[in-house]
Amino acid sequence: MNLAAVVANPEGTFPRALPPRATRASRVARERLLGVVPEIEWRLLAPYVEEIRRLARERRAVILAHNYQTPEIFHGVADYVGDSLGLARQAAASGAEVIVQCGVHFMAETSKILCPHKTVLIPDLEAGCSLAASITAADVRLLRERYPGAPVVTYVNTSAEVKAESDVCCTSANAIEVVESLGAPRVIFLPDEFLGRYVAARTAVELVLWHGHCEVHERFTGGQLRELRASHPGVYVLAHPECPPEVLAEADYVGSTAGMIGAVSKSGASRVVMITECSMSDNVAAAHPEIEFVRPCNLCPHMKRITLPGILRSLQTMTHEVVVDPGVAARARRAVERMLAVAGGAGR
């Protein structure tokens, strides 16, 4: 819970008193957050949930939230939640005039690329990503020169300019299918080295990799997982493919954030650990009170820049609008749409 941000509320823009009657939106949110958010905390959150949902209706806005958003956003105000692939699909399918992207900047750019005529808002423009920051469009052009004829697959965790230099995008949910869909013996796969190594071990296609890493997932270690297994017998281990190979080797399931959520339900396990960003476990635990979640916590500081006060301000002021140069967007759209045409799977 990002309670500090709610209490501090630097802009002072929210209705401080609880509305006299809870609306359906806040009653549904309260039910989902029972057991996760204590009553006293809920009394601070409820006015935001009410006002955000009211303004979203008024602005004809859809709120898309990534699985790493905090529970009050994920369960409280989002119209759609999901992994990067799911959110891109929702953006493409949305009939709303405005998209409020509760996630990081590359996700909002992907929505803008797919929906050039919609207004795409992100509550905090500084919500970046270490993977997206690891590579530039000039780097991609140099790699093409060095490996002539090799097609370029880029993870969606990249800027619009990098996507525009690519043949096709992928997410962690469909990376293997996308690489194999090209029918090429060698593919340049950018920028996540660990996801690339995971894919390379599962395909005959030769991959040329980059040295990008996720600052959240690279911190997990194989030793940490072995200790967790020893101290929590029978624990079912799920890991995101942005983790180092020694971590993935210890996991029972590897897949995208949405893949991991689906696998928790299917596992039948009574004790689970999700080796990924902290808020995932909070969100999934709210829906599975019968499961014990072991929670080693690595926070994504970029995802955590998105807060209820920030979302409210975004809707009140229609900021911050995400802008992508139309020429860049047109080239990037080809790569993203080509990905959406490839069937996406999820993990092992």
The binder of 70, among ligand 13P, ligand SF4, none, by C-beta within 5 to 8 A per type, is: none
Q: Are 312 and 298 in contact (CB under 8 A)?
A: no
* Alpha helices for the chain (secondary structure H): 3-8, 24-33, 39-58, 71-74, 84-93, 105-114, 137-146, 160-164, 175-181, 193-200, 222-231, 245-248, 257-267, 278-287, 308-317, 326-341
The binder of 67, among ligand 13P, ligand SF4, none, by C-beta within 5 to 8 A per type, is: ligand 13P
Binding piece for ligand SF4, criterion CB under 6 A, among 52-60, 113-121, 298-306, 315-323: 298-306
Site for ligand SF4 in 58-87 (CB under 6 A): none
Our CB check for ligand 13P shows the closer of 167 and 218 to be 218
Separation of CA 89 from chain center:
13
The single-letter code of the amino acid at 223 is G
Our CB check for ligand SF4 shows the closer of 130 and 166 to be 130
Residue 102 in contact with ligand SF4, rule: CB under 6 A:
no
The single-letter code of the amino acid at 53 is R
Cα 178 from Cα 337, distance rounded (Å): 12
The binder of 215, among ligand SF4, ligand 13P, none, by C-beta within 5 to 8 A per type, is: ligand SF4
CB of 134 to ligand SF4, least distance (A): 10
The binder of 83, among ligand SF4, ligand 13P, none, by C-beta within 5 to 8 A per type, is: ligand 13P
Applying CB under 6 A, among 79, 177, 180, 215 the residue interacting with ligand SF4 is: 215
CB of 277 to ligand SF4, least distance (A): 5
Cα 59 from Cα 92, distance rounded (Å): 19
Site for ligand 13P in 34-93 (CB under 6 A): 67, 83-84
Which structure tokens are listed for 60? 């004809």
Q: Are 88 and 124 in contact (CB under 8 A)?
A: no
Residue 257 in contact with ligand SF4, rule: CB under 6 A:
no
CA-to-CA dists, residue 275 to 84, 247, 294, 299, angstroms: 17, 9, 10, 11
The binder of 84, among ligand 13P, ligand SF4, none, by C-beta within 5 to 8 A per type, is: ligand 13P
CB of 260 to ligand 13P, least distance (A): 8
CB of 307 to ligand 13P, least distance (A): 18
The single-letter code of the amino acid at 219 is R
Cis omega (within 30 of 0) for bond into 301:
no
Which structure tokens are listed for 280? 């995932």
Site for ligand 13P in 208-267 (CB under 6 A): 214, 240, 242, 256-257
Q: Are 258 and 277 in contact (CB under 8 A)?
A: no
CB of 313 to ligand SF4, least distance (A): 21
Our CB check for ligand 13P shows the closer of 132 and 225 to be 132
SS3 187: strand
Residue 274 in contact with ligand SF4, rule: CB under 6 A:
no
CA-to-CA dists, residue 134 to 45, 155, 183, 186, 282, angstroms: 36, 12, 27, 22, 29
CB of 182 to ligand SF4, least distance (A): 24
CB of 318 to ligand 13P, least distance (A): 26
Applying CB under 6 A, among 2, 94, 157, 174 the residue interacting with ligand 13P is: 157
- At residue 161's C-alpha, the angle toward residues 159 and 162, to 5°, is 70
- Burial of 40 per CB tally in 10 Å (0-12, 13-18, 19+): exposed
Which structure tokens are listed for 35? 């057991």
Our CB check for ligand SF4 shows the closer of 193 and 242 to be 242
Site residues, ligand 13P (CB under 6 A): 67, 83-84, 157, 171-172, 214, 240, 242, 256-257
Site residues, ligand SF4 (CB under 6 A): 104, 129-131, 157, 214-216, 242, 277, 300, 302-303
